[in-house]
Amino acid sequence: MIRVLLADDQALVRAGFRALLDSAPDIGVVAEAGDGEEAVRLARAERPDVVLMDIRMPGVDGLAAAGRILADPGLSETRVVILTTFDLDEYIFEALRAGASGFLVKDTEPRDLLQAVRVVHAGEALLSPAITRRLISDYARRPPSAPDPSVRLNGLTDREREVVALVGGGLSNEEIAARLVVSPATAKTHVSRSMVKLGVRDRAQLVVIAYETALVTPRWSRNT
């Protein structure tokens, strides 16, 4: 059973999500929070597998609450998915750097919500094509970060760098395997080793690193 914590200040939204999630045989809602402070407290008490976290909540907002949950050593197995709308893009990089496993738009299709919880619980990133495009576009407008960020990649082999770049391009393990002409298991191993060497929790953070280190460059940024 995948144990889920819902955090949203709108009771009606929580009720709708709860009804849907509890209808699945492999998913159950263990707690609901109406603000970020309560979300952190309940996460520590219930140790859920997945937290669905709204950003705009009173008091401690969802972004700060997510950061506290993901920084807690006792919650190292807990994944956080940010509930967002497209006008909140400025938070995406900050949430990913904090360790969020991905994003869901609140009006997502019911079946997609259930699948998203399963995907994140399995350790995959949840970055829809629409959100990924906005993420990349936002990054292209940002000034360069710290000097020579590629130093972070020094511990990777050439093949691992190639794999991180492909993850940054949005490819799945199966697509990476096809591109590199290796087995899916081998592709998964390369991804896992890259994550360990770079000290990241999941593929979402690999995407950030791929752009921060210029392994992947937004095509349209070259003309800006």
Q: Do 180 and 162 touch, CB atoms closer than 8 A?
A: yes
Strand-pairing partners, residue 105, are 84
Strand-pairing partners, residue 51, are 5, 80
pTM beyond 0.75, yes or no: no
Which tops the pLDDT comparison, 224 or 174? 174
> For residue range 112-169, what is the model confidence (pLDDT) as tens digits?
889 889 988 887 767 655 565 566 556 555 555 554 556 678 889 999 999 999 988 7
> For residue range 16-36, what is the model confidence (pLDDT) as tens digits?
999 999 999 999 999 999 999
Does 58 have pLDDT greater than 90? Answer: no
Helices (H), the chain: 11-22, 36-46, 62-70, 92-98, 110-121, 129-140, 158-168, 173-180, 184-198, 203-212
pLDDT at 224: 36
Strand-pairing partners, residue 122, are none
pLDDT at 72: 93
